[in-house]
Every structure is written in structure tokens, then in C-alpha cells.
Structure 1
Amino acid sequence: MVTQHARRARLTALGTALLTVPLTLTALPAQAVTGTAASDATYGYTARLDIGDGTRACSGTLVDTEWLLTAASCFADDPATSTTVPAGKPKLTTTATIGRTDLTTTAGVVRTVVELVPRTDRDLVLARLNRPVTTVTPVALATTQAAAGETLTFTGYGRTRDEWAPLKLHTGTLSVDSSDATTATVTGQDAAVCAGDAGGPEIRVSGGKATLVAVNSRSWQGGCFGTDTTETRTGGIATRVDDLGDWVASKAGATRITDFDCDGVEDTAVGDPLASVNGLSEAGLVKVVYGGGRTSAVLHQDLDTVPGGAEAGDRFGETLAVVDWDEDGCSDLVVGVPHEDIGEVADGGLVTVLYGSPDGLGQGRAAFNYQQGTGTGAIDANTSVEGDGMGSALAAGTAADGEPYLAIGVPGKNLKGYVDAGLVFYLRGSTNTSIHQDDTGVVGVIEAGDRFGAALAASPNNLAIGAPGETSDSGAADAGSVTIFKHALSAAGIPTPVATVDQDSSGISDAAEAGDRFGAALSMIAYRPDGAASATDSILAVGTPGETLWVGTTSYADAGQVSTLRISASGTVSELATVHQGVAGVSGASAAGDGFGTAVAAANTAPRAVGTTATLLLAVGVPGKDIDTATDAGMVQTFSLLGAPGDSDHWIQAGNERGLPGTPGAAQKVGAFLNATGTHLWIGMPYGPAERGAVHGIPWSNAMGGTGATVTTYQPGVGALPLTGKAFGMAIR
């Protein structure tokens, strides 16, 4: 057993970490003293890391489609004294070349490292890539530690005997001398681990299968280019990873958090569109609560960092979305301003993108507006018209290939003479297109009052667009419909249409009726069905808050209901369940004006795993529910997205055991504003009892029937939030 004191002494003796500066790439062949060049793609999971545009170079190992394992010392300020690295975005821009064993070729892919998750007990970090790698198979982690006398293969892009920065991946063999809880002592047999090899893999091959046992950490570097010729030792220290399978899986499989300042800690943005700004009524603002101890921020259009200027009635922050739009590891905030006047055009609307940075939102790259008649593509080709309401709905995220997308609803857009027909702008990479009901492949036609784009939802696989004003084929006004797409573009240059669904569609329960507003609220998550290797499907929750429900011979107008739909990888749409308070086993009783489904929020708490009743969750807002004598007090009901609704429903109202603070009060309309993350159900309460509103984060363990977990509350005037605003909680991300 190697003592901690001995380990520290050895680290000091071995000197600095195995970093190299790639001053000039050479084409000389690698020599046997420091490894042989890889002849094929066997070790294609080895990554070459360029840190700080040539400041440092290291190696790494692809252990998941989105994650590398490498040495923390590659990112440490002074690796000779400490390998401590802060979590979050790397200080220096870092690119990873993966699957290109010969750097003179164009094989493989290049990715940016956007997040570091360090270990505190060893020289190791997990490094998240900006996009998945789908052309190289990750290497699996070993499950047993290296044994004394065992031979391992190492790979890396570090120096050879006569090359400063070789153009080819090289390999060598090591013998294991001993190991302790976190490291192994190794000796090079035919090669030394050299500068630039830090973080590269040390591989065990058994039965033709390679597994990752350790990563290169430090070495005497005997025989390496630039090493004193009197140094002949080829020994070194490797960092064990064989005991970290659960840690890697938990990090790789976790739901992505909102992180505006790239510190690895979750942040929250809350809209208050009715707030006054510098005396301008309902100009609107957004408050940002940073989770890492940074002071909260207030964002509005009278700040230099936010384009435009505050005006009465703009309602900045009425809708919000979060996406890493520039793929730098910091979440970016998309703010809908649907009531923005564009020149003399009232309520034309626009959308503002505020970039995250290590210093917070709006403190780095300049923000900008998407506004009709400006920029490029379909947005530039359209003109703002009174009542367009651009930004009334937003959906953003990353497609299955990791590319960011943004969908912007313009439900008030007049098309071909039809008032409020509605369209959606879809942005992804170089794509800047519009979607409407007269597009090729979209079932339906443009009609007045459809308000196509009034609601949006998306997953990595699909996009759903609600048209709650759609008139059914039977002539029922405002019956509503939802159109579903794949992100892959069709020949027409829009996301590929999958289906248009309404309550008259085959396999969908109920019937389209006037005023149902099917599709007025949408929420979607990716779903991995049993037997699938990944989350290839989607589950969509569709709110129909205007649904009239019957109990015997008594009808309850606007009682509301929710439909849950599965969209398969092939594009088949099928109904999973119809959910309302008249379903067998579901708590409560439907009543007129309940508005069940006014808001819906779905969550997949384990997005990499096969979906289960415990991980696929749904919250339904019922803001018109009367509680005792409190009219429109409102409540939230939670369910599993799988199985019978009555098997899993739970009731959340102010003051009950689920942990939502307060007591039911008239016109509080709890459930009108919801957001779901992988850990919490967020409930906005802009109408009280707090004077200026509040939001409450209910852990899913509470929301799904448990008690005792800590509820997070953000409220103006409490903690770091300034006592400003009027209706804090009308949008949450």
C-alpha cells in the first residue's frame, strides 16, 4: 500500500504534469523508444486536446458519446503544485479531436469541451463535449483495478523521442508495479509516457475487448523529446478509473441543468412581464437567481446589455426558453417580448437572446434581437404586422445530434388574408425557415383564427406546434389541433411533418368540440422505450383546458383534460392516456371552469435510461379549481406519463403535505405557470399570497407523493432578490 505521504513525495519528484505546447506539428515518424504510431482506428476513442489555442496539449479518452475522461492537471493553473480544477467551463478554450489517429487527415470529429466535472480525490476530470460523437465507439471502463505485473497499453498524442508534437497517435506498453486507492505505479516497457500524453488511456485487453483501467497522469519521461538525456527512467503514475463506473454513469445520464454562469451549479430565470421599469407600466423584467452564490440579477430593456428600450406594455419576459445557443457551455436565455411595438406597429413582438458567460447573463457576448424584417432567412423575409405577437411561445433545446434549435411562435400572423392564422420560425444552424399550415406535408390549411404557434414544445427528436384556434372538419370553432414534426428537414426545407392530431383523429379519445382548445398547452420529453438503445421516441402532453366534461347528465364547461401521446422513432403517433379528474382513481372531481390542462409540464428524470413510471413524470395545472371557499385558488396534479393515471396521481395545493407554502386564496390560480426540470417541479404564484409573486421549486420526491424534502422558494424582497416587480413567476426556466 502506497501511503499518501509517499504519493505526495513521488508527485513532487516526478515534477510537472505531462503537458506539452504544440509549437509546430512535424511529419517525422514516431520512434520505438516513445511509442509506435497507431496503424488503424483501434484506439480512435483517444482524443487530442488543444487547450488555449496551443497553450497546452493533452490527451483524453471518449467514455460516453458526450464525455471524455482526462487528467485534471491538464486544466490546473499550476499542475506542479495542485491538480485542483473548478467545476464548469474550462478557463481556456479547449478543442478535442476524436477518431483522427492521423492528424493530417479529416477523419473523426472536432468538438469543444464546454464543461469540466472534476474529482477531488485524484488527477481526473470528466469533460463534456458540445455535441455527441456518434462515429466513434466509446471505450468501457474496467471494473477491476490493475494488478502488479499486469501489462497495459497506453495511447496518446504526446511527444516522441524526436517529435515535439507528432501528427499520429502513438501507443506503448506499461507494466504495473503497484496500485493504491486512486493511483497505479507503472513502468514503460517499450515506451515512456511523455508530455502531451496526460489524460490518455491505459487499456486492458482481455478476450479481444478493451477496457479503460487508468489514465496517464505523471512520468519521469525518460527518452522523451526535450527531456535531459541523463534521464532514462520510464516509470510514472496513472490515475485509476476502474472504480468510477457509477460516477461516470451518473454524470453522463443526469438531466442537463440551466447554468448561465458556467459554474456547474443550477440557475433559475423568472419572468415578471407586468413589472414596471423606470416608471413604465408593464414594461417587464426577468430576475435571475444564480445557484453558485453570485448575486442575483435583474434584466430589462433599459439596460445597456439588453438591446432595445423599455416601453409601457412591452411585457419583456412573458415567455422564456433556455438553450446553449453558441455551444460554449453557458446556458443562454431566450426572452419573448410578444407585445413589443416595432416602430409604429403595435404588438409586433420580438425575441431577445441573452448569452451566458462566466460573469453571468449579458456580461460576455453581446445580446441580440430576432425581429421580423431584419437578419436573414424567413425572419428577414417577413414583416412585423400589428398583433403578430412574435415570441408568444418558445421552444428550445438540442436535437439528437447535439445541434441547438429555437422555435418561435407568431400566432397572430396574418397569412394570405386570413387573420391570426399563425406561423412558427424555426432556427437551427444555417436553417432559418418558417412553418405554417399550407407548407408541403403539413396536414391542414391556413384559416383565420387558427393561432398556429400559440403553444410549442420540443424534445431532441420532435417539435410540436399547437393551434388551439383550429376549426375542426366538423365545423367546431376553436376545437384545436397539434402538428408534430421531426427535426430533420424535409425536401421543402422545414422540419419533416409527422402528423396533425386533433380529437377527431383515429385513436384519440373524445371528439373535437367548439371551444375545447386542444393544444393550448404542450410539453414534451424524450423517451427511451424498453429494448431501444437510446431515447428515440417522444412523449407529448397536450392540454385541452376548454374541454367540457360530463358527469351523468350534468356538463361542466371548461373543466379541461390532458391527452398524452407517444411519438415513435418511425413517426407513429398513439395515445397513451386521457387524463382528467373524472378518470377512475384520479383524485378530485371535475368542475366548471377548472381549466385542467391550462399548463402542463413533463419531465424525464433519467433521460438515458429506459423510461419507467418512476422517471417519466407529468404535472398538470388546474388554476380554476375552487378549494373550499377560495374561488380559483388553483392546484397542481401530478401523474406518471406511463400507466393508468389513477395509479400515480398526487394533489398539490398551497399548504398541503407536498410542501407548497401558504394557504389557498381566492384568485391565486395556482397551476397557471409551471416548469419541470430533472429534479424539481417549479410552480409560479404571481397572484399571491406574496404581494409581488413567488416561485416554489418542489422536489419531485415531494410532488410524487413524498414529504420532507426541502422546497426552494424565490420571492422578491427575500434573500438576494430586490423588492421590485408586480407578478413574479409568470414564466420560469
Structure 2
Amino acid sequence: MLTQHTRSIRRALLATALIAAPLALSTLPAQAVTGTAATGTTYGYTARLDIGHGTRACSGVLVNAEWLLTAASCFVDDPAAGLDVPAGAPKLATTATIGRTDLTTTDGVVRNVVQLVPRTDRDLVLARLSRPVTTVTPAVLATTSPVTGEELRVAGYGRTKDEWAPLALHTGAFSVDASDATTTTVTGKNGVSICAGDTGGPEVRVTGTQAQLVGINSRSWQGGCFGIDTAETRTGGIATRVDDLGSWVAAQIAATRVDDFNGDGTEDIAVGDPKASVNGQSEAGLVKVVYGGGKGSETLHQDLDYVPDTAEAGDGFGQALASVDYDEDGYTDLVVGIPSEDIGAVANAGMVTILYGSPDGLGKGKAALNLVQGTGTGDILAAVSEANDQMGAALAAGKTAAGEPYLLIGMPGQNLKGYVDAGQVFYLRGTTNVKIHQDSSGVVGVIEAGDRFGASVAGDANNITIGSPGETVDTAANAGMVTILKHTLNAAGIPTAVASIDQDSDGISDAAEPEDLFGASVSTVAYRPSGATAATDSIIAVGSPGETLWVGTTSYAGAGQVLTLRVTAAGTVTQLATVHQGVDGVNGASAGGDGFGTSVAVANTAPNASGTATTMLLAVGVPGKDIDTATDAGVVQTFSLLGAPGDSDHWIQAGNERGLPGTPGASQLVGTYLYATPTHLWIGMPNGPSERGAVHGLPWSNAMGGTGATVTTYQPGLNGLPLTGKAFGMAIG
């Protein structure tokens, strides 16, 4: 236990905490106070943090490819007043330089810090990085407490004896004085001190060639540090213990990510109503955003100052939505498709707007990015808006396995080489801005009228999938096809084609038939096979809602079905299952016009673990299903993506035990609009029973057969949402 004298020292030190020197780099040779400068990759897991563009500096420690440990005191205005750091995006923009022990070099990497997860019992936060670090080996947490008298090695990028902000990582030896439940006191050997800017740096136990992270620099007397009164000679300091936090760190790293537009650490959701009137303009469209944690809501439309363009009749703002932290600042950004937007006199050319997240919500920070053909960069700049292109009719966004954000923009109405509605897709990632169509390098297929390539798009960390439901296969019109590509660019600078799949492809069940509409809906999720160390594979669900099914000698046109495909890291594509209401064990009976597979949504509820039958999930919309006398009432069915469909089938209709509110009604078309996150299955019901529509979030435990978990409902006129709109729930993101 610390003595009363030590506790008094600790309180006093709070007032002079070493949270950092402003970043004014010295040109003098870097030296520790009396220690040594780190060389090569030694202590390469130590990070240098720039907080607030030079406002302050700290150090940190890489403990996972995407996570640092550092001091909470680095992120508060006044450490003496408390160490309460809000969870979520840091208040001040923060970058971390990792693996660059000599700052004059280009070694290592630079990453944004996008999320803070604080401890409430000690001076410590976990900080998530914008992208994984794959070139630096993380530090290993110790599992035993520091012992009085043992030696620890301390590292940091703080001041030295004669430098304000040195250009190299420096280290020194310290002796452990005492420990309590959360801290350790240390004293520098041979006059070595922990200086301003070293806060958050590692204190490690070195045994042979093995180094274990015991603590994080917190406070120090700073004797001998640059700028400190020469009368101060004490070299003692306090470290925050981490040796007892292995399970906490692991749990936070494995936690499910959520969309967070305002960076407060709670889940937010956006819902489109493209048929809503705005300032008298019929079907101009709007999007309502609900901020988690009781932070309220806002309504987005094109008559707001911070949303580009102007609300006009028939624009359909919000017909498609996607979300990703596109600018990697810690705030989720919202991508809005406006496929019926007129560009000048060009009707229904379409455009896409990215509204950036900020502490005050969407659109309140940096200016929106408007994507219109003929503007910007790359292939979008080189393109020309044409009537009925429908740019933004389908959207998908996410991050690659390397953590780089990407965006897919479907344009199913694009005319190519004189072929009407051939369709194409724009793919954006970093400086890449390219178009993909059926004449693209490596893509199987031929540009034809009515293919509608890009009518559906989906992506995960490994692969992207593009549906062309109008594809003619042999002589079967509108049989449909999907194209699978990986994010790696080929020699032509576009994503590398993996396979093009239709129902006549080898290994694919059934056969391509007219009006199958294979690829009318697609959804994909990364999959980590058992025994693998990463989610290297993809599982893709492909809906063919026009599929004709036979029961005995009776055919049911438009009954619909779904195929699930697995794509391995090597690019091998195999069919996992055929799913429809005639499969053994699957609820319901096929009927004409059911439209099974009109929408599909897949999810991995444990994205950081090996995929299992209970974590890899599929939801299928069946909007044409009649329930008793309610024609086209619609249902949703859920399955596991792994194993036989009949082993895990669950039926969701309005009013049953799964928790979807309401009662089945004619033309409600439940299942037309689905959106899946790792925590919830969201079902849009713009066609009633609520007059203006509603969305309902079912926890996956409910959706997969359980009962009792709270269902979240958002509806115009309830819980603070304004009573406006017409078809709330036609898009969810």
C-alpha cells in the first residue's frame, strides 16, 4: 500500500501532471535525460500522440493491431480537476505515430485515434486506431504485479534534459518503490526522469528477450527535465498498473462496433423517407437520424444550409443509405443516395451526398461531399450525367481488411455503348475513383440492354458483390447474375474480379430461367473459419425473388429463393445452401408472388471471433406472403448462414412472439426493407400500419427464435420524432 506521504505526493503531482509539451520539434540531437535513445525497432510499440494539432503531446503503447493504451490525463482539459474522459471520439483530433523511434525517418505508420474507451478507476484509456497496424508487434501485457525493488524500463517521446520535443524515442531504467491496486510508484535510476510528453508511455518488465507491459506513465516530479526548476531533483513517478487488465482489454477489443454519427460512443441510426414532401415539394425526400443515449434526433433534407442542392419534387433524397467513417476521424458518416435527382436539365441522373459526422451530429462539422458525374476526381469527374442514370440507386460502404474505407455506388440506369440500362458501379477508396461494368478488365459478361448492373451492391472487408438482375443468361431474359470482386486492384486499376455467378454456373443449383431476377438483392459479410486467425473469407446471400418454384406438378411464379455462397481467401466460390419455403424444415409453403429474397441482410454478431452457426446470420424478406386474408402482408424469415436452413429457421410477422409490433395487414409488404447490424435486425414498415411508416429493431436474440428482449421502434410522432413524412423506413443505415 502507498504511504500517506506518497498519496499526498500523488495528489500534488496531479497539478503538475506531465500531459505534455506542445509539439515544437527540436533540431538538436535527441537524448534521454541521462538514459539512451531507442534504436531500430526496440520499443517500436511505443506511440507518439499529437493531440489537437500540436496543442499537446503524449506517448502510448500499441497492445493490439488497432488499439493503444495511454493515459486518460492526456485527453482532459485539467487533470487536477479529474480524469473523466467521455467514451467515443476524442474531443481534439489525435494522431499516433507508431514504430518510428527516430522521428526524422519515415519508418512505422501514422494513424488517427478514432475512439476512446476509458477506465473509471485509474488514469487510463484504450484508444482505437483508424486502421490496423500490421508492421509493428504489439506489446504483451504482464500478468503479475510489479514487485518492490524490481527494475522496469520506461519509454516515451517527452522532453529530455535539454530538449523541448526531441526527435527520438528515449528510455531509462526505474526501480519499483511500491504498488497499490491501480498504481505503482517508481524512481529513476542514475537521475533518469519521466518528463512532460512521456505520459502514456510504457513501463515494461524485461526478462531475457521478453518484454511485458506492467504499467503506463502517469505522473512525475520531472526532476532534471527541460523547463523544470533546477531545484527540483526528484526523479520519482507514478505509473498506472495494467497487469491486471488483460481480460478488460480483450473484452473491449472484441466489442461490437456501432454507427456513431456524433462520436459519443452510443449507437445511432438513420432512416430514409424518400417519398416525404419538403417545403411543399412532393417526394423531395428526407432522412431522420436518431442519436443514441437520448441525444435526440434531426431531420435531414436538401433545403438545409449544410446539405447540398435544393429540395425538389421527385428527388427521392434518402432512397438508399450507407454508413462508414469515410474520413477516418472517429465519427460515422452518412452516405445518401438521391437517384432521381435532376442534374441541370438531365432528369433522374442522380447523385450521392456524404454528410460527415461531428460532435454536434451529421453535417455540422466539415462540409458535405457531393458526388455528381462530371465533378470531383477520377472516373466520376470523367463521366457525364445522362437521363435516368439513377446514380445512388444502390449503395454500400465499409472498410477493407486493411481498414481503408470504401464506397460502392450503383447506377443501374446507366446507358453504355448505346445499350439502355446496361448499368455500372463507381468504386471509391482513398485516391481510387473508378467505374466497374461488364466491359471492365476481368469482369465476365457483355454489356447488354436491361442488365441493370449495379441494381444491388454489397461489400465486406474482403470482397464486393454487384447484382445485375436483368442479365440474360443464354436465352433466359432477366435470369440475373452477380459479380464478385476483391478490393485488391488489378493492372487496370479496378477491383480484381473473382467470379461471375449465375444459376447455370458450375456448382450452382437450379438453372437460369426467365424472370428469376437472380441478384436483385445481395448482402455479404466477412467470415472467419474455425482455426483461422482472421476473417479472410466472405459469405454472400443472393436473392432471386422472381424464381418459379414447383410443388409436385404445380408451379408458383415469383415464389422466390435465396442462394448462399462462400468465397475463400484464395478466391474459390462454392454454394453453401439453397433457401426457400420448399426446403425441408423451412417454415411456410411456396406461393406465387411471395417474392422470397426480395431483400436479404446478413450479419456476424461476433465479428472478432470464429464464425459459428449462432453468430453468422441471414434474414430474408418475403413481402408478397399472404397471412390469412391479408394479401401481401409480408414476413421475414431468419436462418443461420452455416448448416442446413431448416435447422435454424424462424418466422417473423407483425404481432407474433418475435416482437415485431402491429398486426398483419393487406399490402404492408413486410420484408421489403431490411438492414442488419451485429446487434439488431431492422425491419422497415413504410406501408403501415402506421400512417407514415415505422422501423423496428429486433435484437438478434429475438429474431433467431427468442422472446422478451426489448424491440426498438422509431416512428414519426413518437419519442421526439417530428410527425412528418410519408413512407418512413424505405431505407435504413
CA–CA distance in structure 1, aligned partners of residues 516 and 415 of structure 2: 23
- The C-alpha deviation readout for 1:342-393, integer Å capped at 9, x for no partner, is 2222211111111111111111111132111222221122222221111110
Contact 1:30-1:36 at 8 Å conserved across structures: no
Deviations, residues 176-224 of structure 1 (Å, cap 9, x unaligned): 2222222222222242221111001111234532222211111122222
Separation (CA, whole Å) in 2 of partners of 1:31 and 1:649: 65
**Contact map agreement 1:272 1:318 (CA 8 A) in 2:** yes
Matching residue of 1:667: 667
Q: Are the aligned partners of 2:340 and 2:347 in contact in 1 as well (CA < 8 Å)? A: yes
Q: Could you tell me which residue of structure 2 aligns to residue 565 of structure 1?
A: 565
Relative to structure 1, the CA distance from residue 622 to residue 722 in structure 2 (aligned partners, 3 Å threshold; closer, same or farther) is same
1:414 is the counterpart of 2:421: no
The corresponding residue for 1:131 is 131
- Comparing 15-24 and 618-627, the one that deviates more: 15-24
AA matched with 1:18: L
Q: Does the CA contact (< 8 Å) of 2:196 and 2:222 recur in 1? A: yes
Aligned positions of 1:10-25 closer than 5 A? 10-13=10-13, 15-22=15-22, 24-25=24-25
- Contact 2:23/2:50 (CA < 8 Å) preserved in 1? no
**RMSD over aligned Cα, in angstroms?**
1.7
Query: In terms of mean alpha carbon deviation, does 688-697 or 106-115 score higher?
Result: 106-115
TM-score using structure 2 length: 0.97
The aligned runs of 1:235-314 (5 Å cut-off) are: 235-314=236-315
The alpha-carbon distance between structure 1 residues 614 and 147, as it changes in their structure 2 partners (threshold 3 A), is farther
1:486 aligns with 2:486: yes
Report what 1:372 is aligned to: 373
Q: The residue matched to 1:80 in structure 2 has which SS?
A: helix
Aligned AA for 1:632? Answer: D
Counterpart residue number, 2:495: 495
Is 1:333 paired with 2:334? yes
Deviation per residue, 1:463-492 (Å, 9 max, x gap): 11000000002x111000000111111111
In structure 2, relative to structure 1, the CA distance for the partners of 1:285 and 1:710 (3 Å cut) is: same
Q: Which residue of 1 aligns with 2:72?
A: 72
Question: Which range moves more in the overlay, 280-289 or 181-190?
Answer: 181-190
Contact preservation (8 Å) 1:17, 1:74: no
Conserved 8 A contact 1:660-1:711: yes
Distance 2:23 2:638 in 1: 58
Once the two structures are TM-superposed, the CA of residue 570 in structure 1 deviates from its matched residue by 1.3
In structure 1, runs of 5+ residues without a counterpart are: none
CA distance in 2, matches of 1:591, 1:540: 25
How much does 1:306 deviate?
A: 1.0
Distance 2:64 2:364 in 1: 32
Partner secondary structure for residue 446 of structure 1 = coil
C-alpha spacing 1:113/1:8, structure 2 compared with 1 (3 Å): farther
1:474-553 alignment runs, 5 A limit:
475-553=475-553
Q: Is the 8 A contact 2:502 2:512 kept in 1?
A: yes
- Partner residue of 1:209? 210
Check whether the contact 1:301–1:309 (CA below 8 A) recurs between aligned residues.
yes
Partners of 2:55 and 2:243 in 1: how far apart?
30
| Kept after mapping to 1: 8 A contact 2:32/2:171 | no
Matched, 1:691 2:694: no
After superposition, where does 1:116-265 map in structure 2 within 5 Å? Answer: 116-190=116-190, 191-206=192-207, 208-265=209-266
Deviations 1:89-110 (A, max 9, x none): 2222211111000111111111
Is residue 355 of structure 2 the alignment partner of residue 354 of structure 1? Answer: yes
Contact 1:69 1:125 in 2 (8 A): yes
Q: Which amino acid in the other structure matches residue 701 of structure 2?
A: S
What corresponds to 1:42 in structure 2? 42
Name the aligned partner's letter for residue 255 of structure 2.
Answer: A
Name the CA distance, whole Å, in 2 between partners of 1:65 and 1:370. 33
Corresponding residue SS for 1:181: coil
Following superposition, the deviation at residue 40 of structure 1 comes to: 2.1
* Segment drifting more, 177-186 vs 349-358: 177-186
Aligned-partner residue type, residue 208 of structure 1: T
Post-superposition Cα deviations, 1:413-463, rounded to whole Å, max 9, x if no partner, equal 111111110011111111111111011211111011100000000011111
Partner of 2:431: 430
Give the whole-Å Cα distance in 2 for the aligned partners of 1:358 and 1:420: 41
The equivalent residue for 1:640 is 640
Secondary structure class of the residue paired with 1:701? helix
Letter in 2 for 1:585: G
Q: Quote the offset at 1:11 in angstroms.
A: 2.5
How far is 1:3 from its partner?
A: 8.5
Alpha-carbon offset, residue 639 of structure 1: 1.1
**Alignment match, 1:629:** 629
1:447 and 2:424 are equivalent in the alignment: no
Q: Alpha-carbon deviation of 1:412?
A: 0.7
Query: Is residue 34–residue 193 contact of structure 1 (8 Å, CA) maintained in 2?
Result: no
Per-residue deviation at 1:34? 4.2
TM-superposition CA deviations, 1:589-609 (whole Å, max 9, x none)? 222111111111111122121
Q: Distance in 2 between matches of 1:426 and 1:5?
A: 62
Determine the C-alpha separation between the residues in 2 that align with 1:492 and 1:146: 56
Aligned mates of 2:424, 2:207 — CA distance in 1: 57
- Deviations along 1:544-565, one digit per CA (max 9) or x if unpaired, are 1111111222211111111111
State the Cα distance separating 1:147 from its structure 2 match.
2.7
Task: Name the TM-score, length of structure 1 as normaliser.
Answer: 0.97
Whether contact under 8 Å (2:30, 2:167) holds in the other structure is no
Alpha-carbon distance in structure 2 between the residues aligned to 1:661 and 1:206: 61
One-letter identity of the residue aligned with 1:634: G
SS at match of 1:88: coil
Secondary structure in structure 1 of the residue aligned to 2:81: coil
Between 189-198 and 245-254, the greater mean CA deviation after superposition: 245-254
Aligned amino acid, residue 95 of structure 1: T
Is the 8 Å Cα contact of residues 390 and 413 (structure 2) preserved in structure 1? Answer: yes
Q: Is the 8 A contact 1:373 1:384 kept in 2?
A: yes
Structure 1 Cα separation of the partners of residues 177 and 146 of structure 2: 9
Percent identity, please: 75
The range that moved more, 199-208 or 110-119, is 199-208
Partner of 2:86: 86
CA contact (8 A) 2:37 2:171 kept: yes
SS in 2 for 1:578: strand
Q: Deviations over 1:391-419 (max 9, x none)?
A: 11011111122221111111011111111
Partner of 2:589: 589
Query: Secondary structure at 1:651's aligned position in 2?
Result: strand
Contact 1:30–1:162 (CA under 8 A) maintained in structure 2: no
Task: Find the residue that maps to 1:378 and give its secondary structure.
Answer: helix
8 A Cα contact 1:30 1:161, kept in partner: no
Identify the residue that residue 396 of structure 1 maps to in structure 2: 397
| CA distance in structure 1 between the partners assigned to 2:21 and 2:155 by the alignment | 18
Contact 1:14 1:220 (8 Å CA) reproduced: no
- Once residues 305 and 15 of structure 1 are traced to their aligned partners in structure 2, the CA distance between those partners, rounded to angstroms, is 42
**Cα distance in 1 between the residues matched to 2:506 and 2:672:** 30
Contact 1:630–1:664, Cα closer than 8 Å, also in 2? yes
Counterpart CA distance in 1 for 2:115 and 2:168 is 27
Is contact 2:14–2:80 with CA below 8 Å preserved after alignment? no
Letter in 1 for 2:333: D
Unaligned runs of 5+ residues in structure 2 are: none
CA distance in 1, matches of 2:29, 2:203: 22
Deviation at 1:653, TM superposition (A): 1.1
User: Is the partner of 1:391 in helix, strand or coil?
Assistant: coil
Deviation at 1:709, TM superposition (A): 1.0
Letter in 2 for 1:642: L
Q: Give how far 1:338 is off.
A: 0.7
* TM superposition outliers: structure 1 runs of 4+ over 6 Å: 3-6
Flag the 1:686–1:56 CA change in 2: closer, same or farther, 3 A. Answer: same
Give the counterpart letter for 2:140 in structure 1.
A
2:706 maps to what in 1? 706
1:510 aligned counterpart, secondary structure: coil
